[in-house]
Structures are given as C-alpha cells and as structure tokens.
Amino acid sequence: MNLGEEKMTAPSMSVAADNGRSATKVSVLSLIQKHAKRNEEIAPDMLQEYTRQITDPNYLHTVSLTELYDTIYRPKTQIIEGFLCSGVYLFAGAPKVGKSFFVAQLGYHVSAGLPLWKYPINQGAVLYLALEDDYARLQKRLSRMFGMDGENNFYFATQAKNFREGLDGQLTAFVREHPDTKLIIIDTLQRIREIGGERYNYSSDYEIVALLKKFADQQNICIVVVHHTRKQGSEDSFDTISGTNGLLGAADGAFIMQKERRTDNKAILDVVGRDQQDQRLHLLFDRQRCLWLLTETETELWKEPPNPLLEAIASLLSPENPEWTGSATDLIDRLDGMDIQPNVLTRKLNVSADRLWNEYGVRMDNIRTHAGRLVKLSLDKA
C-alpha cells in the first residue's frame, strides 16, 4: 500500500541546525509540487503557511487541538497483531541466549503469513541481515528450524554497510525492489555502527536508532535490531540493555530475553512498546527443532470492543464496490441509524484511521475541493 505523506501540512524538520532553513524550503516546495501533480487545490491558509515556512527564519510549526482532530495521520501497521508494529524495536539478551533463533522465527512467520503462537500475521517480505553469520551456518540452522520448504520472500544478507557508509541506501534499494516489505532484522546493532568512531554516548546511541526509526517511519515497516544486555542485573530488565538510555529512548519498543542459567531451555520475554500493550511471555526452547514455544502469558491482551461506527463504515465497501467518495453529510445518510454531526463523524474517523486500516483494511482520505472537503474510503489492505 501507499499511504502517502503522514500529514501534508507538516514537513519533516529532522535536519541539522546549520542547514535547517534550506532543507525546510526544499521540503515545503516538494509538498507544493505534490499538490500540483495530484491536481489538488492548495487552500489559502495552507499556502500562507507554506510561504511562512520558506520566508520566516523564526517560524515554528504548531497545530491547534482542532487541527489535530481534523487531520488523518498515517496509521501504524500491525506486523504481528498485538505483538509487533511498524517502527524500530530493540531485541536484547545475553550472548548465546537464543536471540538469533527467535528473530529468524519472527522473520519466517511474517514471510510465510503463519500465525506466531496466538498472534495473527500480516504477511510481507522480510530482510534478515545476519551480519555475524555465514550462508552455510544459516542454511543448517534454518533447515533444522523450518524443514525443506523454501520461502521466496524471506531474504538474507551476511554483509552490509554501516550507517555512515550508506546502509540506508542499501535498505532503500531493497524496499524499492520489494515493495511488500514488512520487516527488516539487523543482527546485530554493533555491526552497523561506525567503525573507529568516538566512544558511544547517549547522543550517538540515540542517533543510530533515530536514523533507523526515520527510515522505518518513511517506509511504514518494522525494523528489529538485535543487541546485547549488560552483565550487571537490574530490577527493571530494560535497564540491562547494553549502552546508554539513548537506545531505548529513540526506539518504539524493546524485547528483553532472559534466562536464569544459560543452559536452561526456558526463558522470559519482556515486551514493551509505544503502540502495543506491555507483556511478559514464558517461552520454552525446543532443542530438536530449535524453535521457541509459548508456554504462558502473564498479561492477557486487552482487545478493543467492536465499534458500531467502524463496522458500518466497513460494510459500505466490498470487492465489487471497493471505493466510496462523498461529503460527511452524504456518509451519514448511508449509515442507517447513526445520529452524529458531520464534523464529529470525520473527527472520529480521523482518530480511528489506524483501527479502520488494520482491522478492516479500509483506507480513509480527506480531499479538499472548491465545494469543501470530501471523504474517500477505499479497500486498500496489502
């Protein structure tokens, strides 16, 4: 799918201070060009804001609460529902605890569209950068885990550039070639850091994850980065992640795998994230197949109750009629028994755009016209 810009009136400001104004100018001009290419009218207030961003060196982009509610933001994609979303996640654990087996299992399930334990999968291509392995070792490990059935959209590389050398370019090229990419696994973080760089500190830790997050957000994919934990224990397992708090601070979430003893075949997996519920899972390692099995979940996932409005919206579309466009008032007329004001309806749908997308496969867009705003609904799930 192509969800377009996250928000058409908010250009990216992730640029260095010394060239921020010129980069903002380029970003704003590109947005104006996109409007023109799509034959979309630029409202006077929007054009005025674009002009200020180009000409005013002290411009600070803000949004009001009203504008916040009136805007559709790009939904987060559920890669593994209730378990893994688009964004950047750290997967940390002690050496030889079984991290590589686990992330290979993640990759295989996403590429094959097979549920991971009780978690449904949104299938897509997977790239696994196994930077501490070679292809012969991967061949033996994966054949033992998954048998002889191949999976054509599960890809591997044992060598890649670090970020300073151009890893982002390599990843961009891969996603361009494989537009259905859902997951990229980097094993390990240390292999993509700058070689010979200064000693790692909060700033450098934050920067490397922030760069990965910027790429993941632009592509609307998930990146899982394998990393190590420190030997020193802590009451909070996430404080054991090797390095500074900058790593976790920039990431969207983290997985911590721990064993009481390295020789155990049992492990606890703690999961925390911005876009999914915190969880603690008890796992058992099947030594014969080299697969992690789920034995217990301490925290049951909370699921939102059915939403009658979203159910009604989804029922308007079908494979035979995959699109609908009209005003909010027209939409209310199509929703039998819905007593709701047009502006309230569009705001409710804006706020629920991610749920409408992930649960029902319905994309919502607001279209500006001379006559006013229109709502466009389309079946568009990848």
Choosing from 246, 264, 297, the residue where a domain stops is 297
Which residues, in sequence order, are CB contacts of 311 under 8 Å at separation 6+?
Answer: none
Cα gap 377→316, rounded to integer Å: 9
Question: So what's the pLDDT on residue 19?
Answer: 41
Q: What is the pLDDT of residues 118-140, one digit of tens each?
A: 899 999 999 999 999 999 999 99
Instruction: For residues 148 and 42, state if they share a domain.
Output: no
Instruction: For residues 113 and 216, state if they share a domain.
Output: yes
Within a domain: residue 260? yes
Q: 253 with 92: CB under 8 angstroms?
A: no
Instruction: For residues 151 and 214, state if they share a domain.
Output: yes
Within a domain: residue 186? yes
Domain count, the chain: 3
Q: Which CATH number covers residue 333? A: 1.10.10
Choosing from 264, 297, 330, the residue where a domain stops is 297
Residues of the chain with pLDDT below 50 are 1-21, 196, 382
Within a domain: residue 243? yes
Cα gap 269→294, rounded to integer Å: 10
Instruction: For residues 134 and 240, state if they share a domain.
Output: yes
Strands of the sheet with 279-286, listed across from one edge: 154-157, 125-130, 181-187, 222-228, 87-93, 253-258, 266-273, 279-286, 291-297
Instruction: For residues 223 and 329, state if they share a domain.
Output: no
Instruction: For residues 292 and 325, state if they share a domain.
Output: no
Choosing from 297, 332, 358, the residue where a domain stops is 297
Both tokens of 365, joined, read 């867009």
Q: Which CATH number covers residue 185? A: 3.40.50.300
Both tokens of 367, joined, read 């279209």
Question: So what's the pLDDT on residue 20?
Answer: 43
Q: Which domain holds residue 372?
A: 308-379
Within a domain: residue 303? no
Within a domain: residue 142? yes
Within a domain: residue 69? no
Within a domain: residue 3? no
Q: What is the pLDDT of residues 9-19, one digit of tens each?
A: 333 333 333 44
Instruction: For residues 116 and 232, state if they share a domain.
Output: yes
